[in-house]
A and B are shown apart, each in its own frame.
Chain A
């Protein structure tokens, strides 16, 4: 039996691509290695509590009625009503650096006002930067032009602290590369965080994933769990078949893979040389989840998300030690505008981490180190926030090693390779990539990536339309 399309991975991009194809009666099969759907944004259960792996906040939040935003487009393409996502906007977030704090909400003017007050000499430059961002076409799928963001920022702003404060959330929520990011990526992230905003769905990722899986299967899409792909066979550069770890062979006209660019090319048989031109991603994170005996607000944690640095200059790079606690992201999932307050208080803490060092440890060292770096992380937080140690009733932490184990992304690189393949094309004809390494990141970004690759390479190719970009 031959499929029209086989998709590797039931993460957000794979599920979204699957829905698009199933909508138009394609015979489509999603193969997922893991036993749960969701990939980088899945969920897991410990001691009867369900935790989201990735979800701090969904970026790109726009309210119902905004049709031209990424979220508006995504809802239409997957045919959901806005209400079905049950999104609850954030309350207020913050960027904290020594002696400086910039608060922001889902209203962009609020941040502008904060900058005018905290950095009066920079506000004109900031407005100039915003004008550049507004006029930039970040969704163009043409790869040729590369502009380092730092150049653009330094042409507009002169205060390095403000530059770092703006970079901090954008890097943490979407930079595959260390040090700087490409300007198109900066624009995507700036819009998704500052101009659009944060929200969380009632029911977390399990709810959103179920919505996607139900829609996909309701349309006749097939999904196989625990079905890892071991090899993608091609002949003279043209796709032949897909081999599963259990020995089965499947065939399809086209394959879309969300496993990552290099990860996908490594599955190709015979080997594809182009692999060596791609950089492997390095940026990964350690994350701790603290369940509290009260709500974060009751102990002085009143923001939705805080991006902080305890040093005046912010660094985004693979740390030389296991985990770098001098900067991080603090998320209080309770501080979103839920219709009903959640029963338990939770604080999540994310720090940059080094995959190689975490991966190289023995089991007992690994456990001890997790505890140690979690404590160091909490101690660093005390620079700005009250101690919450006495209120912790449950703790869980995961590291780059965990992320690699469950998603297969090399180095546990959450945002994949620094080199994005915007066209989604690979050296193998009829094999395409979507998701993390195609260039749109985060929950909404990955979903849009799946949609746009299914449109471009299957649906539009068939309709022979030249709509090109989307």
Chain B
């Protein structure tokens, strides 16, 4: 996956777990928690979706890397670059 595809993969996950959100307006540098009121249950869902879709384990100490879109791409790109984008 390219960086852009990793970003798309994260967007796909967020749009699945928060179907009412308009993600076109997402600000990559801003905290997801603040933009969409994502709580710990939602972050757990993101982590579980990453495992389900890409077989990727995010250890708990790394959860903080998923704080914004930009930091998530930064963290996930090296780990996902050999994966294919799935919906």
By a beta-carbon cutoff of 8 Å, the part of chain A in contact with chain B is 24-25, 64-65, 67-68, 72-73, 75-77, 79-82, 455, 459-460, 463-467, 470
**Which of A73, A79, A463 makes the CB contact (< 8 A) with B19?**
A79
Check if A68 sits within 8 Å of B37, measured CB to CB. yes
Check if A81 sits within 8 Å of B20, measured CB to CB. yes
Query: A25-B52, A463-B60, A470-B41 are known contacts; what are 5 more A-B pairs with Cβ within 8 Å?
Result: A64-B20, A73-B39, A76-B42, A82-B20, A463-B48
B16: Cβ under 8 A from any A Cβ:
yes
Q: Which residues of A contact B42 (CB under 8 A)?
A: 76
Check if B52 sits within 8 Å of A67, measured CB to CB. no
Give the distance in Å from the alpha carbon of A268 to the alpha carbon of B18 in the complex: 39
Q: Which residue of chain A has the shortest Cβ distance to B60 in the bound complex?
A: A465
Give the distance in Å from the alpha carbon of A77 to the alpha carbon of B39 in the complex: 11
Q: Which residue of chain B has the shortest Cβ distance to A470 in the bound complex?
A: B41
> With A455-B44, A459-B48, A466-B60 as given contacts, are A75 and B37 in contact (CB-CB < 8 Å)?
no
Give the distance in Å from the alpha carbon of A460 to the alpha carbon of B44 in the complex: 8
B17: Cβ under 8 A from any A Cβ:
yes
B67: Cβ under 8 A from any A Cβ:
no
Interface residues of A: mostly helix, strand, loop or mixed? loop
B36: Cβ under 8 A from any A Cβ:
yes
**6 tightest Cβ-Cβ pairs between the two chains A and B:** A67-B37, A467-B40, A81-B19, A470-B41, A68-B37, A81-B20
Give the distance in Å from the alpha carbon of A296 to the alpha carbon of B63 in the complex: 54
Check if B40 sits within 8 Å of A463, measured CB to CB. no
Q: Which residues of B contact A80 (CB under 8 A)?
A: 19
**Which of B16, B17, B36, B41 makes the CB contact (< 8 A) with A467?**
B41
Q: Which residues of B contact A466 (CB under 8 A)?
A: 60
Check if A73 sits within 8 Å of B41, measured CB to CB. yes
Task: Name the distance in Å between B16's Cβ and chain A's nearest Cβ.
Answer: 6
A-B contact list, 5 entries, CB within 8 Å: A68-B39, A75-B19, A76-B42, A77-B41, A464-B60
B26: Cβ under 8 A from any A Cβ:
no
B11: Cβ under 8 A from any A Cβ:
no
Q: Which residues of B contact A68 (CB under 8 A)?
A: 37, 39
Task: Name the distance in Å between B51's Cβ and chain A's nearest Cβ.
Answer: 8
B47: Cβ under 8 A from any A Cβ:
yes
Q: Using a Cβ–Cβ cut-off of 8 Å, how many residues does chain B contribute to the interface with A?
A: 19
Task: Name the distance in Å between A458's Cβ and chain B's nearest Cβ.
Answer: 11
Q: Which residues of A contact B47 (CB under 8 A)?
A: 463, 465
Check if A465 sits within 8 Å of B44, measured CB to CB. yes
Task: Name the distance in Å between B37's Cβ and chain A's nearest Cβ.
Answer: 4
B residues 1-50 touching A (CB-CB < 8 Å): 16-20, 36-37, 39-45, 47-48
Give the distance in Å from the alpha carbon of A65 to the alpha carbon of B20 in the complex: 7
Q: Which residue of chain B has the shortest Cβ distance to A80 in the bound complex?
A: B19
Give the distance in Å from the alpha carbon of A466 to the alpha carbon of B44 in the complex: 10
Give the distance in Å from the alpha carbon of A467 to the alpha carbon of B48 in the complex: 13
Q: Which residue of chain A has the shortest Cβ distance to B59 in the bound complex?
A: A464
Q: Which residues of B contact A75 (CB under 8 A)?
A: 19-20
Q: Which residue of chain B has the shortest Cβ distance to A24 in the bound complex?
A: B48
Give the distance in Å from the alpha carbon of A65 to the alpha carbon of B60 in the complex: 29
**Which of B17, B48, B52, B60 makes the CB contact (< 8 A) with A76?**
B17
Give the distance in Å from the alpha carbon of A80 to the alpha carbon of B20 in the complex: 8
| Residue of A73, A465, A470 with most partner-chain B CB within 10 A | A465
Give the distance in Å from the alpha carbon of A67 to the alpha carbon of B19 in the complex: 11
Q: Which residues of B contact A467 (CB under 8 A)?
A: 40-41, 43-44
Task: Name the distance in Å between B60's Cβ and chain A's nearest Cβ.
Answer: 6
Give the distance in Å from the alpha carbon of A467 to the alpha carbon of B39 in the complex: 10
Q: Which residues of A contact B20 (CB under 8 A)?
A: 64-65, 67, 75, 81-82
Task: Name the distance in Å between A470's Cβ and chain B's nearest Cβ.
Answer: 5
Give the distance in Å from the alpha carbon of A354 to the alpha carbon of B42 in the complex: 43
Task: Name the distance in Å between A27's Cβ and chain B's nearest Cβ.
Answer: 14
Give the distance in Å from the alpha carbon of A24 to the alpha carbon of B43 in the complex: 14
Task: Name the distance in Å between B31's Cβ and chain A's nearest Cβ.
Answer: 14
Give the distance in Å from the alpha carbon of A25 to the alpha carbon of B53 in the complex: 11
Give the distance in Å from the alpha carbon of A80 to the alpha carbon of B19 in the complex: 7
Give the distance in Å from the alpha carbon of A53 to the alpha carbon of B18 in the complex: 31
Give the distance in Å from the alpha carbon of A77 to the alpha carbon of B40 in the complex: 11
Task: Name the distance in Å between A4's Cβ and chain B's nearest Cβ.
Answer: 14
Task: Name the distance in Å between A19's Cβ and chain B's nearest Cβ.
Answer: 13
Give the distance in Å from the alpha carbon of A72 to the alpha carbon of B20 in the complex: 10
**Which of B17, B40, B52 makes the CB contact (< 8 A) with A470?**
B40
Q: Which residues of B contact A465 (CB under 8 A)?
A: 44, 47, 60, 63
Q: Which residues of A contact B40 (CB under 8 A)?
A: 467, 470
Task: Name the distance in Å between A372's Cβ and chain B's nearest Cβ.
Answer: 49
**Which of B18, B44, B60, B63 makes the CB contact (< 8 A) with A459?**
B44
Give the distance in Å from the alpha carbon of A457 to the alpha carbon of B16 in the complex: 23
Q: Which residues of B contact A464 (CB under 8 A)?
A: 60
Task: Name the distance in Å between B86's Cβ and chain A's nearest Cβ.
Answer: 14
Q: Which residues of A contact B19 (CB under 8 A)?
A: 75-76, 79-81
Give the distance in Å from the alpha carbon of A464 to the alpha carbon of B47 in the complex: 11
Q: Which residues of B contact A67 (CB under 8 A)?
A: 18, 20, 36-37
Q: Which residue of chain B has the shortest Cβ distance to A455 in the bound complex?
A: B41
